Chain A
Amino acid sequence: MAIAFGALLAFFVVAVIAYPFLGSRRYRLASQRFVNREKLRVERLQVYRKISDLEVDHASGDLTESDFQSQRDQLRVTAAELLREESGPDGPAMDSDEQLEQEISRMRKRSSRSSETGNESK
């Protein structure tokens, strides 16, 4: 009995580790891509979270202006990289619509503190 169970276990284990070499390739890639994109998105949201943490620290005087700026920029770059990876070569492009882009940035300049994006867009 034990032997049979052990053999079953061995078979299962081998099947699992062999699967990446076999299996339906297209299905595998598609689902892999989906899972990856989900993970990337969650990660990007976590980076956003960190930026908001930084803002809290900054507001409470725990972090000096230049540290705050440089760290936030660092995180923004990380988030942008994640976003780029997310959009990927075969992923959906984001707002590729050029017109919308411009409109948005115009909108943004009007409605917000524009200073923080200034050094990045150049």
Chain B
Amino acid sequence: MADLGVMALLLGMALSTYSVVGSVVGVKTGMPALVVSARRALYMTMVTAFVASGALIAAFVQNEFTIKYVAEHSNSVMDRAFVWVAFYSGNEGSLLYIVLALSIMSALAIWFAPRRMERSMPWTIAVLAVVQLFYFFVLIFFASPFELLDVIPEEGRGINPLLTHPGMFSHPPMLMGGLIAITIPFAFASGALISGNYGDDWVDVARVSAILAWGVLGAGMLIGAWWAYTILGWGGYWGWDPIENVALMPWLVLTAFIHSIMVQKRRGMFRMWNVALLNIAFVLAQLGMFINRGGPVVSVHSFASSALGIIFLSFMLLSLLFAFGLFLWRMPQLKSDRAMESFMSREAAFLVNNFLFLAVMGVTLWGVVFPLFSDLARDVSVSVSAPYFDRANGPILLGIVLMMGVGPLLPWRKSSARSLRRWFAWPLVIAVIVVVVLVALGVKRPIAILSFGVVAFVAASIMEEWWRGTVARHRSGDKWARAWWRLVNGNRPRHGGYIVHLSILMLGLGIIGTNFYQQRTDGALALGESLVIDNYRIEYVDSDSSSRPDRIAQWAEMSIYRIDPADYATEISLARAQGSDSFRLKDSTRRPNDRLIDQIQPWHGFYPDFNMASVRSGIRSTIVEDLYVIPRDFLSDGRISIAVSINPLAWWLWASGPFFILGTMVALWPQPAVERRPVRTEKQIRALATGDL
């Protein structure tokens, strides 16, 4: 299989080279056959990428431990379902996966590109082929997944235990796929610029492909957060880890892009700006590849690090030069058709929102590189981690959420005082009511109250639009549900966007809840003992263990009781006096108002081959709050050391996922070429012409 894989990779590299050269030479010398042939070469790279990937997968399935990559990332007892995960669990495999994803997406994009773009297509193809060429080149010369071992091991090392989770079937491929997918809109924009096709022809293609990349990347990050929450066992879901940050940054820029591209589509403005945004997103995606695959910074994701840094860094710098060189060259041609008319217009709101997204991106980037600066300037290492990003980015993110409510309420061009009053009155009233109610309920933290107020404002603004649109259609005779559906269907990009906005609000609720109101405690329990926190009692009922060749697993059986604090008044006041929010009970006899609500099985596994522990937390999740029990360690005296947290509103984090995907799909769902718009047949035209209606 190794031979076949290497041959396929070499072919792929030759084909991408041919595709670049053929496209450019074909266009410059006016040889259509060469251009067509170069385009076909790019389709063929997809075939070779498939063959190479197939060869690697076949090697995994047949346990060919002569191949180093296979020996290091799988073993013969591994569940066959994990072959897919093992495929990209290391550097070489993930690069192969990236080539596969890129070549599939390139082929699809070229196939579906509108004919109008014919003039710029050769250049688009050349750009795509250059990027493919780079990855083939790296695969062949620096990180070949088909490298052979001199001594064939009896058994492989096995798969990284942290990766054996359902989320891993989709999280890494989605992130890598999303990052590399940014190449597609970038290639279309670049192609249009190089060929001098300055019109807005590329806008639709770039918008659709950018939303695809954005949706995949966003969903991938969300799944990653879910994976972290359920398996990494640190009680959080987003650590502002460098790898997470480099995926987040291009996503933020893409978010800005898919908003401002609507301004170009609708108003013919922001041409330069949109190209610049795509350039930034592409360069950031390359930065992501550099940090992800080149491994210059430490992170929890660095299981796939390598010495490729300098190559990826060079490619990133090259793309930076190319993107902005092209941009500067063509800048004079990218003027707006129209002038901005008012600050109180949707395009102005979009511009402000754009800069806020870029601000989060910039602050995040600053946080990522600050340690390097500190090293250089003072020769002192510092860490920049979650507390920094929470504080520095939190307020800007809140500002973005606020703009999410303001922007859609403003009309294009300019707004009259009347329409402002009409549209802003209700959302503001509702936001104020929410704030007043929260204050009345005794919620103390000003920032949390403010955040909830903003969320309420945005939710109300979306509901207001849906309400008014639906009522209008209902009046004209539709049933309520149908009226709403027709409203959404009438302008899918817009209402899909609203659904995504709603999902972001749900995410926001989860973030506010877990960030500001999380309660945590820890302790060690012997069998039969209980830990009481808030109004939960967690009783350690039983434990069990099993030993398998690859791991030693232990798990605990715990019962969760809802308690009445009055029953425990003395213990609670005693604990308070010691500055604790929780306390341990040696005697777990049930008190009158204890009510069993759930059973959880926190699980702890140790993998000797990897010297690595993996935990699965016991989670009782409700719409209001999660009770989250991390088994830190099974102590030798039979006790279990646990960390417990109560995460308010955490459920909403994961509930937002389906809405995010749904909204993205609604926004993207292709509208049939013509719908409701009568395109007349020859016959109808004749009928019309002869008055025979």
Instruction: Point out residues on A near B: beta carbons under 8 Å.
Output: 2-3, 5-6, 9-10, 12-13, 16-21, 36, 39-40, 42-43, 45-46, 48-49, 51-53, 56-57, 60-64, 67, 70-71, 78, 82, 85, 95, 100, 103-104, 107-108, 111
Contacts of B267 in A (CB 8 A): 67
Excluding A16-B43, A78-B116, 15 further A-B contacts by CB distance (< 8 Å) are A2-B4, A3-B7, A13-B48, A18-B37, A20-B34, A20-B37, A46-B114, A52-B676, A62-B411, A62-B412, A67-B412, A71-B268, A82-B115, A85-B115, A107-B688
Cβ–Cβ contact A111 & B7, under 8 A: no
Contacts of A12 in B (CB 8 A): 47
Cβ–Cβ contact B673 & A52, under 8 A: no
Q: Number of contacts between A and B (CB, 8 Å)?
A: 121
Contact of A6 among B8, B36, B114, B115 (CB under 8 A): B8
Cβ–Cβ contact A48 & B673, under 8 A: yes
Cβ–Cβ contact A6 & B15, under 8 A: no
Contacts of B48 in A (CB 8 A): 9, 13
Cβ–Cβ contact B116 & A82, under 8 A: yes
Q: A37 vs B286: C-alpha distance in the bound complex, in angstroms?
A: 38
Cβ–Cβ contact A17 & B41, under 8 A: yes
Q: A5 vs B48: C-alpha distance in the bound complex, in angstroms?
A: 12
Cβ–Cβ contact B689 & A49, under 8 A: no
Q: A16 vs B37: C-alpha distance in the bound complex, in angstroms?
A: 8
Q: A45 vs B677: C-alpha distance in the bound complex, in angstroms?
A: 9
A67–chain B nearest beta-carbon distance, Å: 7
Label chain A's interface by main secondary structure: helix
| Interface size classification for chain B | 35 or more
Cβ–Cβ contact A100 & B677, under 8 A: no
Contacts of A21 in B (CB 8 A): 33-34, 37
A5–chain B nearest beta-carbon distance, Å: 6
Any chain A CB within 8 A of the CB of B301?
A: no
Contacts of A42 in B (CB 8 A): 673
A109–chain B nearest beta-carbon distance, Å: 12
Cβ–Cβ contact B4 & A67, under 8 A: no
Contacts of A71 in B (CB 8 A): 266, 268
Cβ–Cβ contact A57 & B491, under 8 A: yes
Q: A95 vs B681: C-alpha distance in the bound complex, in angstroms?
A: 12
Any chain A CB within 8 A of the CB of B608?
A: no
Contacts of B638 in A (CB 8 A): none
Contacts of B4 in A (CB 8 A): 2-3, 5-6
Contacts of A40 in B (CB 8 A): 115
Contacts of B469 in A (CB 8 A): 60
Task: Using A2-B1, A48-B677, A103-B689 as known contacts, say yes or no to A56 and B490 having CB atoms under 8 A apart.
Answer: yes
Q: A70 vs B55: C-alpha distance in the bound complex, in angstroms?
A: 55
Contacts of B34 in A (CB 8 A): 20-21
Contact with A along B29-43 (1 / 0, CB 8 A): 000011011101101
Q: A111 vs B675: C-alpha distance in the bound complex, in angstroms?
A: 22
Contact of A100 among B37, B40, B55, B689 (CB under 8 A): B689
Cβ–Cβ contact B40 & A17, under 8 A: yes
Query: What are 26 A-B pairs at a CB distance below 8 A?
Result: A3-B7, A6-B7, A13-B48, A16-B40, A17-B41, A19-B40, A20-B37, A21-B37, A40-B115, A43-B116, A49-B672, A49-B675, A56-B490, A57-B266, A64-B413, A67-B413, A78-B116, A82-B115, A85-B115, A95-B685, A100-B689, A103-B689, A104-B685, A104-B688, A107-B689, A107-B691
Cβ–Cβ contact A100 & B686, under 8 A: yes
Contact with A along B637-677 (1 / 0, CB 8 A): 00000000000000000000000000000000001111111
B470–chain A nearest beta-carbon distance, Å: 13
Contacts of A9 in B (CB 8 A): 7-8, 11, 47-48, 51
B90–chain A nearest beta-carbon distance, Å: 22
Any chain A CB within 8 A of the CB of B679?
A: yes
A110–chain B nearest beta-carbon distance, Å: 8
Cβ–Cβ contact A48 & B685, under 8 A: no
Task: Using A6-B7, A13-B11, A16-B40 as known contacts, say yes or no to A43 and B688 having CB atoms under 8 A apart.
Answer: no
A36–chain B nearest beta-carbon distance, Å: 6
Contacts of A3 in B (CB 8 A): 3-4, 7
Any chain A CB within 8 A of the CB of B690?
A: yes
Cβ–Cβ contact B688 & A10, under 8 A: no
Any chain A CB within 8 A of the CB of B372?
A: no
Contacts of A48 in B (CB 8 A): 673-674, 677, 679
A60–chain B nearest beta-carbon distance, Å: 8
B71–chain A nearest beta-carbon distance, Å: 19
Contact of A13 among B15, B55, B672, B673 (CB under 8 A): B15
Cβ–Cβ contact B412 & A64, under 8 A: yes
Contacts of B37 in A (CB 8 A): 17-21
B475–chain A nearest beta-carbon distance, Å: 14
Any chain A CB within 8 A of the CB of B44?
A: yes
Which chain A residue shows the least CB distance to B113? A39
Contact with A along B229-269 (1 / 0, CB 8 A): 00000000000000000000000000000000000001110
Any chain A CB within 8 A of the CB of B18?
A: yes
Cβ–Cβ contact A56 & B412, under 8 A: no
Q: A94 vs B3: C-alpha distance in the bound complex, in angstroms?
A: 57
Contacts of A70 in B (CB 8 A): 337
Contacts of A100 in B (CB 8 A): 686, 689
A15–chain B nearest beta-carbon distance, Å: 10
Which chain B residue shows the least CB distance to A44? B673
Cβ–Cβ contact B266 & A63, under 8 A: yes
A51–chain B nearest beta-carbon distance, Å: 7
Contacts of A108 in B (CB 8 A): 688
Cβ–Cβ contact B115 & A36, under 8 A: yes
Q: A16 vs B8: C-alpha distance in the bound complex, in angstroms?
A: 16
A35–chain B nearest beta-carbon distance, Å: 10
Q: A78 vs B11: C-alpha distance in the bound complex, in angstroms?
A: 40
Cβ–Cβ contact A53 & B491, under 8 A: yes
Cβ–Cβ contact A111 & B688, under 8 A: yes
